[in-house]
Amino acid sequence: MSALLKIEGLCKVYDDDSREHAVIDDLNLEVAQGEFLCILGPSGCGKTTLLRCIAGFEHCKGKILVDGREITGPGTDRIMVFQDFNQLFPWLTVEKNIQFALKRQGIRDRARLEAITSDVLKKVKMDGHERDYPYQLSGGMKQRVAIARALALKPAIILMDEPFAALDAITRNTLQQEVLAISQQENCTFIFITHNIQEGIVLGTRLMLMQPGGKIAIDTKNPIARPVSPSSPGYGPLWDRLYAALYDTQHANNT
């Protein structure tokens, strides 16, 4: 089966005070349709940069193909959900936030817009909040709406950059379970960045560990049957392996 996402020879260089800094150097990656790829890695290793390249937000060298077509910029086939709670338009209600991009896609029929909005809000358990403004919502509720807004566009790939990192542990666990359920219902591929090994193992069908320079140190299928808990067979050894690799790279980074 050919890959949904294919990245060939990706290089991204930033200029720091006229010094060139290669954040990603010759990264190659294939992601199949329906995979839930979790990417772990120490701060500054280039995870966000990789996601931004896939989203089409960055100029970079190399090729990024989605469904065989090379991307040239942002598109509604790749939607990003950020960590920041303030990613919604603060002047629009929940339903208008969701409908904004749909209208720009040319969907004008009111009944259709309402049907899509109602469907995605139910998926993230936010039905009943259509008329709320973002300032009336908790951080977890804002993230749910951001996910609903992404789902509404029916993207091929949802890119999530530590979306739950700023949530409390209980809300985070709840949202993990809900994203897991959504990923099993939707015909969508997820690329999800996290610093949290547990989160990666619970959500990912595949786990990757990035090192500085965008090098891929570990790339493995998640062998643990869902639903995953710390008592699942194989959880401990997988957690240990990821932990050792993550902290080795951090140590290497500091020396």
Residues that bind Mg ion (CB under 5 A): 48
Query: 3-state class of 37 per DSSP?
Result: strand
- From 156, 164, 222, select the one nearest 192 (Cα to Cα): 164
* 44 touching ligand ADP, by CB under 6 A: yes
Q: Give dist(CA 203, CA 183) in Å, integer.
A: 9
* 47 touching ligand ADP, by CB under 6 A: yes
Of the two residues 42 and 155, which places its CB atom closer to ligand ADP in the complex?
Answer: 42
* Cβ-based neighbours of 41, under 8 Å, separated by 6 or more: 47, 209, 210, 211, 246, 249
Q: Give dist(CA 6, CA 66) in Å, integer.
A: 7
Of the two residues 48 and 173, which places its CB atom closer to Mg ion in the complex?
Answer: 48
Out of Mg ion, ligand ADP, none, what residue 229 binds, judged by CB under 5 to 8 A for its kind, is none
In whole angstroms, how close is the CB of 76 to ligand ADP at the nearest point?
23
Query: 3-state class of 80 per DSSP?
Result: strand
Out of ligand ADP, Mg ion, none, what residue 120 binds, judged by CB under 5 to 8 A for its kind, is none
Contact pick of 27, 29, 45, 147 for ligand ADP (by CB under 6 A):
45
* 41 touching ligand ADP, by CB under 6 A: yes
β-bridge mates for residue 40, sequence order: 209
Of the two residues 48 and 198, which places its CB atom closer to Mg ion in the complex?
Answer: 48
In whole angstroms, how close is the CB of 182 to ligand ADP at the nearest point?
24
User: Residues in the site for ligand ADP, rule: CB under 6 A?
Assistant: 14, 16, 23, 41, 43-49
